[in-house]
Amino acid sequence: MTDFIEVEYRSGRLGHFLNPKNLELHPEDLVIVDVERGEDIAQVIHMAISNEELENQFNSNKILNIKRVATDEDKDKLSHLFEEEQKATKMFLDIVVNYPFQMKLIDTVYQFDGNKLTFFFVADGRIDFRLFVRELATMFKTRIELHQTTGRDEAKRLGGFGMCGIQYCCGSFLKRFNQVTIKMAKDQNLSGNLSKISGPCGRLLCCLNFEEDFYVEQGKDYPIVGTCVMYNGQKMFVFKNDVLSNKVYLTSEDQVLADLPLEQFKKLEVIDIPVPEEC
C-alpha cells in the first residue's frame, strides 16, 4: 500500500498526502503537494500516520498526492514569496484602517502557486468583513481568506519563550493542541492561581499535559485528600500528596502540620468520619 505522509504547511496546518511515486522522503524535507485549488509547499514531519487518521483519510473524498521533492528553483521561488507576503501585509494594514472594526494582523501566507492569500488575525468577537474581503480580492487579484485565530494560534505564530526559559512548545515541536484542564494542575500539586499556570496565550500551560499520566499512575498508591487518620494520638487529615518526595502531608483541626513517608502513612489507622444525615 502506498504510504501516507504527514506534512505541515507554512500556515501551520497539518495535512496527509499519498506518496504514489514512492519518493525518497525524510523528515524536514520540503515537498510540493496537490491542494484543492492548485499546489502548495509543505514540510514533511512524519513518515506515517495513525490508524485513526488513516481511516479518516479513506472515509473522506479528499485524498491528494505529493507531487515532488522541492527543487532549488522551488526554494528560490519561496524566498521571493516571503517578499510578496511582506508587501501584502503592508497593503492590508493600509486598507483595514478605512473600516470600522478592530483586528490585529498576525501572519500573511501566500499559497505556493499564488492562487490563495490568507491573512491570519485576532479580534474581539465576530466581524462582518465581506466588503473588506471584496476590496482585498480586487487589490490582490487572487482568492482571499481571512482566518480568525485563537490566543494559542497567535502564540504559536509569533513565538517566544515561556516562564521555563525555553521556546514555546507550540512554536517548536508541539503540532497539535491537547485538552488541558485544571484537574491536571491539581493532580500535580500546582498552584490554583491561574496566572501562574497559564501561558502568554491566556490558556492553561500545554506542558501540564506532559506528565499527567505519571502523576495519575503514581497517585494510585496515595490516600484521598481528606482521609482521616490517627497520628501521634490525634486525628489528622490528609491535605496534600507529594509523589516526587514520596510524602503525605497531614493537618489537624488545630492547624498542626506533619509530613511522613508513604510507607509510614500506610501503617496508620484510618478513621471513618460519619456523614451527617440530611434534614
Q: Are residues 139 and 194 in the same domain?
A: no
Is the pTM higher than 0.85? no
Q: Which amino acid, 92? A: F
Q: Could you tell me the CATH number of the domain that includes residue 253?
A: 2.30.30
As a whole number, mean pLDDT of residues 34-62 equals 80
pLDDT at 78 over 70: yes
Q: How many domains does the chain have?
A: 4
* Dihedral angle, C-alpha 22, 24, 25, 26, nearest 10 °: 140
| E strand map for the chain | 4-9, 14-18, 30-35, 38-46, 64-69, 104-110, 116-122, 143-148, 228-231, 234-242, 247-251, 257-261, 269-271
Last residue of a domain, one of 14, 43, 70: 70
Domain shared by 50 and 63, yes or no: yes
Residue 1: other Cβ atoms inside 10 A: 5
Q: Are residues 209 and 227 in the same domain?
A: no
277 located within any domain: no
231-248: average pLDDT: 91
Does the pLDDT of residue 275 top 80, yes or no?
no
Give the whole-number percent of the chain exceeding pLDDT 70. Answer: 94
Q: Are 251 and 236 in contact (CB under 8 A)?
A: yes
Average pLDDT, the chain: 87
Distance, CA of 163 to chain centre: 17
In this predicted structure, what is the pLDDT of residue 73?
Answer: 94
How far CA 167 is from CA of 120, 158, 273, in Å, comes to: 22, 11, 49
Place of cell 509530613: 259
What domain range is 111 assigned to? Answer: 76-149
Max alpha carbon distance in the chain (Å)?
83
What's residue 1's pLDDT?
43
Write down the pLDDT at residue 143: 94
Q: Which of 84, 125, 89, 126 is nearest to 106 (CA)?
A: 89
Q: Answer yes or no: is 279 within a domain.
A: no
Same domain, 122 and 143: yes
d(CA 46, CA 24): 13
Whats the size of the chain, residue-wise? 279
Over range 74-85, report the average pLDDT.
Answer: 93
Q: How far is CA 58 from CA 9, 45, 48, 108, 213, in A?
A: 21, 20, 15, 32, 32
Residue 59's pLDDT band, with cuts at 50, 70 and 90, is low
The amino acid present at 11, given as its one-letter code, is S
d(CA 151, CA 101): 19
Whether pLDDT at 21 is above 60: yes
DSSP structure class, residue 101: S
User: What pLDDT is attached to residue 149?
Assistant: 86
**Domain end: 70, 90, 114, which one?**
70
Do 51 and 88 have their domain in common?
no
pLDDT above 70: residue 42 = yes
